[in-house]
Amino acid sequence: MLPYRIGVFNAWLIGLLTDVLLGRTLGEYALIYAVISYFSLQFHKQLRQYPVIQQSLYVFLCLLAAQILLFLLESIQQSANFSVVFWLPVLTGTLAWQFIYRLLNFLRFGHLHS
């Protein structure tokens, strides 16, 4: 909703923390979060004008790009497992966006806002 409050650097730090907590190669999630944060900062004003369904498409593309980057980074290091479970975050994140959007609007404005 307000990506400029977090920024690319903080997204990168959160990604490093995620790498450490998940025991992944240091920098995988940091890179992914920083890239997605950068594009979100570039397009957030335009995206806010669209309905939630169209915003969900953007969320879908961001999550898909994140999973593809993660898959590519893992396949460079070792043989990556290409299974349905690996791609599940893309679908669940896209479906969850509508609820998250409404929750954030409720917290921001004090009422539901479409």
More confident residue, 91 or 84: 91
> Can you tell me the mean pLDDT for 72-94?
83
Domain ranges of the chain: 3-109
DSSP character string of 37-72: HHHHHHHHHHHTTS-HHHHHHHHHHHHHHHHHHHHH
More confident residue, 67 or 1: 67
Helix (H, G, I), strand (E, B) or coil at 74: helix
Q: How far apart are CA 79 and CA 90, in angstroms?
A: 21
> Can you tell me the mean pLDDT for 31-50?
89
Under DSSP, the state recorded for 5 is G
Portion of the chain with pLDDT greater than 70, in percent: 93
pTM: 0.79
Residue bearing tokens 């977090």: 6
pLDDT one-digit tens code per residue, 15-36: 999 999 999 888 999 999 999 9
- CB of 68 within 8 A of CB of 30? no
Query: Residue 94: what pLDDT?
Result: 93
